Structure 1
Amino acid sequence: MIVALIIACEVGFWLLLAAGLALRYLAKKPRLGAAVLLVEPLLELVLLAVTAVDLKNGAAPDWKHGLAALYIGYTVAFGHYTITWLDAHAAHRLAGGPKPPGAGYGKARAVHEWKLWLRTLVAAAVTLALLQGAILYVGDDGDTGSLESWQFVALRIAGIHALIAVGYTIWPKKAPRTAPADPVDALFTKSRR
């Protein structure tokens, strides 16, 4: 049941996001679209409540509860970021808004990656807190090994993402070469190679 609810929450997230953006930009009802987008956090609250009730009713803690905690942590850290990112792109594509800036290159890209890592760190912290709460709730009577293993999964994800950010810091992504605007310059550039 928990896995089905996680899938339903993910599908619901994208459906609400699509509906909210469609209302904002296609139907020209920005307030209604914003209201629909504000409903999205309720999905995670439902998942959290159902997971807690499942444990309260005596369900053995297993991978499904860990996955639910990881999903909630990810959504807390990246949900608003994802909505804002997609909103900016929808405004550009559907309402003639300015093109959103990309992650950039060089130092700007490294800073962007570190900011994303901080979000991953928040996701890991939320996941760890939820799992620790579940471990304390279950107590010594139940086997909490599965929940503890999910705590290590959250820490590993944060560690791997830190390595990615370090990689962008040490080996910054370079901007692609742009083609010369003048065709004559293009001929001279090719002949020099």
Structure 2
Amino acid sequence: MTLDSHILYFLIISCEIAFWVALLSGFAVRYMFGKRKVSSVILACVPLIDLLLLMFVIYDLLNGSYATFAHGLATAYIGFTIAFGPLLVGCVDKWFSYKFSQGPSPVPTALTGWQAVLDELKLWFRCILAVLIIYVLLILIVVLVDDPAKTHAITIWFKIPVFTVLFWFIFGPVWSMVFFKRSSN
């Protein structure tokens, strides 16, 4: 049984929704109801969501499906979630702590000065990490399926991430340097 690519797109969107539901409910349980252990269990489900999506993709391809753009998109989703997920979880944790537990106010991201450039460089390095994860997953899929005819459609995903890294560099760190303004402090 193979998955229709529409179903795979639905699964990717469902994983994104599940990510946010697990994240927000995990911190709501922690900070609004004081249930730290329950919160930890809920938050532990966040990486499992990516694992489930990867399992669906591999299962689909090993059961005779030809790779589609959706299979590559799933690897991109997983790569970016793994690379940027911890940063996002930390930001949401700080926000919930501030709003519901008298925690310190979250520090806003610098918009000008060298700190803005450094922040953009850090995000760009995360983008590079995401791309490396995408490549590892794509290679894993190609090796596991072991049929070039079935994996040919995802070969474009070996090109798209390179452009993502270049685009991110231009409109991240370089953009910050070009429009660098000294902080008024």
Q: Return the TM-score normalized by structure 1.
A: 0.85
Of 168, 171, 174, the residue aligned with 1:161 is 168
Larger radius of gyration: 1
Of 63, 71, 74, the residue aligned with 2:77 is 71
Aligned to 1:102: 108
CA distance in 2, matches of 1:30, 1:127: 33
Counterpart of 1:112, as a letter, is D
Give the drift of 1:6.
1.0
Aligned to 2:13: 7
Q: Are positions 1:111 and 2:93 aligned together?
A: no
Mapping 1:25-64, distance limit 5 Å? 25-64=31-70
Give the drift of 1:89.
1.1
Work out whether residues 117 and 162 of structure 1, in 8 Å CA contact, stay in contact via their aligned partners in 2.
Answer: yes
Q: Are positions 1:129 and 2:151 aligned together?
A: no
Q: Are positions 1:172 and 2:180 aligned together?
A: yes
Higher mean C-alpha deviation, range 85-94 or range 145-154? 145-154
Q: How many residues are aligned here?
A: 177
Structure 1 unaligned segments of length 5 or more: list them.
Answer: 179-193
Aligned to 1:148: 155
Work out whether residues 25 and 95 of structure 1, in 8 Å CA contact, stay in contact via their aligned partners in 2.
Answer: yes
Aligned to 2:22: 16
Counterpart of 2:11, as a letter, is L
Counterpart of 2:159, as a letter, is F
Secondary structure of 1:172's counterpart equals: coil
Counterpart of 1:33, as a letter, is S
Aligned to 1:93: 99
Secondary structure of 2:66's counterpart equals: coil
Give the drift of 1:100.
1.2
Give the drift of 1:141.
4.3
Counterpart of 2:84, as a letter, is F
CA distance in 2, matches of 1:66, 1:89: 33
Give the drift of 1:174.
4.8
Give the drift of 1:133.
2.0
Structure 2 unaligned segments of length 5 or more: list them.
Answer: 1-6
Give the drift of 1:33.
1.3
Give the drift of 1:136.
2.8
Secondary structure of 2:105's counterpart equals: coil
Give the drift of 1:31.
2.7
How far does the alpha carbon of each residue in 1:83-114 deviate from its partner, in whole angstroms, 9 at most, with x for none? 11111011111212111112213111111110
Q: Are positions 1:83 and 2:89 aligned together?
A: yes
Counterpart of 1:147, as a letter, is I
